[in-house]
Amino acid sequence: MGKKINLTIDGKKIQAMEGDKILWAALENDIYIPHLCAMKEQQQSPFAGCRLCFIEIEGKPRPVAACTEPALEGMVVNTRSESIDRLVEAGFNLIMSNHHIDCKICAASGACELQKIAKERKIRLKPKKLVQLDRNLPKDHSKDCIIYDPNKCVLCGRCVTACRTEGTAVLGLAYRGFERMVTTFGDIPLGETDCSGCGSCANVCPAGALIETDN
Amino acid sequence: MSNKSTAAATAFEQLKQKAAGTWNTLRDKPLIMVGAATCGRAAGAQDITKVIRDELASRQIEATVIEVGCMGHCYAEPLVLIQKPDNPTICYGYVSEGLASMLVREFIAGDDPCIEFALAAMEVNDFIPTFEDFPRGMVEKKVVMQHCGIIDPENIDHYIANGGYEALAKAIDKSGEEVVSEIKTSGLRGRGGAGFPTGVKWETCRQFKEDVKYVICNADEGDPGAFMDRTLLESNPHQVLEGLALAAHAVGASKGYLYIRAEYPLAVERIKKAINQAEESGLLGESILGTDFNLTLEIFQGSGAFVCGEETALIASMEGEPGIPRHRPPFPAEAGLWGKPTVINNVKTLSYIPHIIRKGADWFRETGTPDSPGTAVFALAGKVINTGLVEVPMGVTLSQLVYDVGSGIDGGKQFKAVQIGGPSGGCLPESFLETAIDFDSLNQAGAMMGSGGMVVMDEDDCMVEIARYFLDFTQNESCGKCTFCRLGTKQMLEILERITKGEGALEDIDTLLNLAKNVKTGSLCNLGKTAPNPVLSTLKHFRNEYEAHITEGRCPSLMCLNLIAYYILPDKCERSCDACIGSCPVESIFSNEDRIKVVDQEKCVKCKSCMDACPPQYSAVVKLSPPELVQEKENDNG
Ligand SMILES: Cc1cc2nc3c(=O)[nH]c(=O)nc-3n(C[C@H](O)[C@H](O)[C@H](O)COP(=O)(O)O)c2cc1C
Ligand code: FES
């Protein structure tokens, strides 16, 4: 099947499968690009909502999202530059201004993608100039094996995809704009849905919003 | 091939003759046309129609009464056109029920055309000026609005008698490629906002060798205050259908949709009727005009969210998914509805197509500028005297639109800015009045063509509040999928709200600028990419207003409620008059020992009732900003 192609990312010559998006080509060659929403199985119809995977491609005037841009033969890509770093930091700050930060007691601490991005890019977890946009939504404890805290959700949509492909398709994205959230049909608690408790949602959650418990 | 072509031409010739018959007999007796698009109806057009019908019946006069669409003179509605044999066609504006029955009595039954009530005549004559004789008429150039308001939108013969479906009959004997090439040569750019070359879009779609392709007319028109598309659908539905049919023929589609917002019931009804009539006449449906070209058209009623007008969101919503934009490419022309190559064009864009095919690309290019050929349709609103719809050549200046078409600012106030391009457009100050209106000049100036919304603002409009208002709209309408649009616009709105309340800090301006820049670059779709425009343009041209709010707690336009106070000037107050006291809903005004009226600032809710109630000869109520000025004044007065 797929043919191999050659490209350069951050000065490093790498190989990738033709048709793969640059994000995956980079990650598989140990070049880190911040990302929250991308899922490799979905790479042909990327969600492209988190807006953290910005890169520069030589010959293109504007930054592009690495998860939507196919890797092409001979391409020269930069994942770091002053303007890229600023844009990624701005996006990250916005996400953090809407993420309930309680790393000290958060079960995801250590395995959290947000912490990872902050560390890789040397960004503060708590943004300085932005107000904290808390919505103070209730946590959902109704299911014994899963806790859902919407105040930590970054709306990457990965749980929804996982629930559709591996679970019982009870999770969905609803409402518009700032009100948008991951929820169930009719906003009923998880415990009252057909949720099988498979935990696939928690497995893919990058931000500790969905946590699998031992029960 | 040549046999077939003769067949199509012959079939069309028959339709044309029948249409000409209908059209010409209209002139045998008096014809009264009432402008009854949604705008006319809102002004009472249907009551006017009834009065005219009743008056004719009671006098047993033979005359034809039809309801037509909108000519664009919305400020003067209801409009009535009267065509009486041996007279020029005369247009009357501001028609009341009394004037309507008078016109029947004096002009139809009698012989007096009541010139004093005429707005203008439709043809050159000796006694009434035509629309072309007014400043507005000199700027105006009608292409897609040419027949709006002067033909019966529910009668296909009226359209055909005025050149309608001729382009389709002509093109059907040509290859789709030739049609694409003509549109490419014409340089037509999409009127849905982005100005993408229509011919290029069609060519892309045509290239794909797929059996199933779609054409879609985007009639979601979600810009607040915009009604250009609605008017075209209501006033000349066949023009849009013919455009869509030509698009289908050009790219090789046999199925088309009109995505119309559900809030446009009259447009839906008229398009439905038009589709039926066109099918009955063999201009739509199976083997159109006897050829092997088939096209079925269907209406899809949109749910109304603004973002559903974005093409990928629109397609998602037609597929039964939430109306949320997705990443492009692939563009719809490659993979659109149900993954099939799909051409999606705006109502106005499609309305130009029949004209270009009929009269040629060169004819089209005679109007407008080399890079933005043709005309532009604007909904002129805000503080101008004459609001309404207007079609002008690309390249006219903003000042021509404001002063010649709009007749200048209402109430002798000072012009401040024009907001152009809808909620994501920019605000341009006086120094930009000579800017030419075309896609590229407006972009350069920090505004955009958008879909044709144009709001004129005067000295009473606070530019910070205006920016906040538009951002509130886009923030609310964001689908919420991507970080920058969902949270970036929200953070920007938080800052603007602080500033309009007088709680801003100077560093907020820098944060705002940075957020704006990042939301523009980082957002997934054009909603987010353009949402910061009102903020960026007002910051660029009216930064002093932001600073006044922040450093002085003062709103220079006296608009931001938190930063103003109502004050009654003691030396102007007439004392014996109680108008303000009676008008106050919260009893915040009292009479002091000299019977001078005083506003209790603690109680005042700043509703402006007292200012409106104070008789103009006194004009004692004023707004002060910052509100602390009240204390100063009161101290001065002892
Ligand atoms: C938020 C948003 C709303 C839009 N709304 C409309 C609309 O109401 N009508 C429209 O024709 N195009 C709208 N567009 C533009 C469409 O995405 C698309 O570009 C257009 O329909 C293409 O037609 P055109 O090439 O004829 O301009 C919108 C775009 C965005 C980003
Ligand atoms: S990973 Fe590319 S936008 Fe989220």
Give residue limits of the domains in chain A: 4-94, 136-215
Q: Which ligand is nearest to the CA of B479?
A: 1
Q: Please state the rounded mean pLDDT for residues B473-479.
A: 94
Tens digit of each residue's pLDDT (9 = 90 or more) over B186-219: 999 999 988 999 999 999 999 999 999 999 999 9
> Mind spelling out the 3-state secondary structure of B396-452?
CEHHHHHHHHCCCEHHHCCEEEEEECHHHCEEEEHHHCCCECCHHHHHHCCCCCCCC
The CATH class for the domain spanning A136-215 reads: alpha beta
What CATH number matches the domain at A4-94, 3.40.50.280, 3.10.20.740, 3.40.366.10, 3.40.50.720?
Answer: 3.10.20.740
A166-206: per-residue pLDDT in tens?
999 999 999 999 999 999 999 999 999 999 999 999 999 99
Average pLDDT, chain B: 94
Could you tell me the pTM of the whole model? 0.92
Nearest to B494 among A51, A131, A180 (CB): A131
Same fold for the pair A4-94 and A136-215:
no
| Mean pLDDT calculated for residue range A3-19 | 95
What tens digit of pLDDT does each residue of B225-253 get? Answer: 789 999 999 999 999 999 999 999 999 99
Our mutation pick for probing the ligand 2 site, out of A20, A42, A50, counting the most ligand atoms within 8 A of Cβ, is A50
ipTM score assigned to the predicted complex: 0.96
Residue with the bigger pLDDT between B513 and B305: it is: B513
The 8-class DSSP code of residue A109 comes to T
Under a CB-based contact definition with an 8 Å cutoff, are residues B524 and A51 in contact? yes
Per-residue model confidence (pLDDT) at position B4: 46
**Atom of ligand 1 minimally distant from the CA of B221:** 8
Closest chain B residue by Cα to residue A157: B481
Select the residue of A68, A94, A176 nearest B305 (Cβ to Cβ): A176
* pLDDT higher at B463 or B74: B463
pLDDT tens readout for residues A90-142: 999 999 999 999 999 999 999 999 999 999 999 999 999 999 998 999 999 99
- What distance in angstroms lies between residue B527's CA and the mean position of ligand 1's atoms? 10
Ligand 1 atom, smallest distance to B219 CA = 9
Nearest-Cα residue of chain B relative to residue A70: B329
Structure confidence at residue B638 (pLDDT): 62
* Of A89, A94, A107, A85, the residue nearest A155 (C-alpha): A94
Residues A178, B507: C-beta atoms closer than 8 Å: no
Contacts of A130 in chain B (CB under 8 A): 491, 511
The answer to whether B429 and B541 are in contact (CB under 8 A) is yes
Convert the pLDDT of each residue in B426-437 to its tens digit.
Answer: 999 999 999 999
Residues near ligand 2 (Cβ within 6 A): A 35-38, 48-53, 65, 67
- CA–CA dist B360, A175 (Å, integer): 47
Mean pLDDT, residues B280-302 taken together: 96
Residue B33, CB half-sphere, CA atoms under 13 Å: how many? 26
Q: Evaluate the omega torsion of the peptide bond into residue B330 and state whether it is cis, within 30 degrees of 0.
A: yes
| B619 part of contact set with chain A, CB < 8 Å | no
Q: Where does A97-151 have alpha helices with state H?
A: 113-121
Q: What's the mean pLDDT in A153-178? A: 96
Q: How many whole angstroms from B382 Cα to the centroid of ligand 2?
A: 41
Q: In this complex, is the C-beta atom of B511 within 8 Å of any C-beta atom belonging to chain A? A: yes
Nearest by CB to residue B484, choosing from A51, A133, A155, is A51
DSSP secondary-structure letter at B550? I
What is the model's pLDDT at position B177?
A: 97
Q: Measured on CA atoms in the order B438, B439, B445, B450, is the torsion positive or negative? A: positive
Distance, CA of A168 to CA of A189 (rounded, Å): 15
CA separation for the pair B431, B314 (Å, rounded): 38
Rounded Cα distance between B490 and B472, Å, is: 8
The pLDDT score that the predictor gives to residue A215 is 65
How big is the CA angle at A147 (ends A142 and A153), to the nearest 5 degrees? 125
pLDDT of residue B576: 87
Nearest ligand to the CA of A154 is: 2
Report the separation in Å between the CA atom of B87 and the middle of ligand 2, taken as the mean of its atom positions. 68
What tokens were used for B14?
Answer: 């028959």
**Position A2 pLDDT exceeds 70:** yes
| Whether A177 and B518 lie within 8 Å, measured CB to CB | no
pLDDT for B436 equals 95
Q: Measured between CB atoms, does B395 come within 8 Å of chain A?
A: no
pLDDT digits (tens, 9 = 90+) for A54-64: 999 999 999 99
Residue B3 predicted with pLDDT over 70: no
Q: Is the dihedral of CA A48, A51, A52, A57 positive or negative?
A: positive
Q: What percent of chain B has pLDDT over 70?
A: 99
Kindly state if the Cβ of B323 falls inside 6 Å of ligand 1: no
CA of A34 to the centre of ligand 2 (A): 8
Q: Is residue A137 packed enough to be buried (19+ CB in 10 Å), middle (13-18) or exposed (0-12)?
A: middle
B479 — contact with chain A (CB < 8 Å)?
yes
User: Are the beta carbons of B522 and A175 separated by less than 8 Å?
Assistant: no
CB distance B627 to ligand 1 below 6 Å:
no
Q: Whose CA is nearest to atom 18 of ligand 1?
A: B311
B351 pLDDT above the threshold of 70: yes
- Closest Cα in chain B to A87: B518
Domains and CATH numbers, chain B: 19-131 (3.40.30.10), 156-365 (3.40.50.11540), 375-461 (3.10.20.600), 464-552 (1.20.1440.230), 564-637 (3.30.70.20)
